[in-house]
Structure 1
């Protein structure tokens, strides 16, 4: 599934492996695309028992995108659903500089 908003692209692909959902996001998550990103995840809650967000091909994430991850974490924690974020070197640095690697389950792919 591809989302296009005001000239900014966010490619988002959902893949199920039984009850594990992987969401691969490419290009950018910013204030324009973050609401779509959030809705794509929230719409699937109840359909999976573990979630992997694959940012290994993500070029940019804004604070709006990071906020979505906190919202998702808050919705999944009461249900004890594992939530992993795969990142590349650039994104890993962003998460580490913001201290988010201590709050979210971040792995280098």
Structure 2
């Protein structure tokens, strides 16, 4: 998975491409742990993300918990396959997904 970052003031957009799984989830976890200080608006752009595994869901949960305290988080350009995983796991109920 590749992560590209775009910072605009206190808004951070992360562009994820590839697979968010047990191998790549630690990379996103590092960003969540280290790069969200002072961020009030986090956007995860999933336009090139093709797969999310349980390890990736855990990192999304941690990011959501952190951003709930300091601002907001949303997912954009979520594919139907990834949306199906979010739906089956119940994550779709508490994550903000925009088209």
TM superposition score normalised by structure 1: 0.82
- Structure 1 unaligned residues grouped into runs of 5+: 1-9
Q: For this pair of structures, how many residues does the alignment match? A: 98
Matched, 1:100 2:91: yes
**What does residue range 1-109 of structure 1 map to in structure 2 within 5 Å?**
10-79=1-70, 81-86=71-76, 87-107=78-98, 109=99
Q: Which whole-Å CA distance do the structure 2 matches of 1:56 and 1:97 have between them? A: 20
- Structure 2 unaligned residues grouped into runs of 5+: none
Q: Which has the higher helix share?
A: 2
Give the equivalent residue in structure 2 for 1:6. Answer: none
**Which 4+ runs in 1 deviate beyond 2 A?**
none
TM superposition score normalised by structure 2: 0.89
Considering Cα pairs closer than 8 Å and 6+ residues apart, tell me whether 1 or 2 has the greater RCO: 2
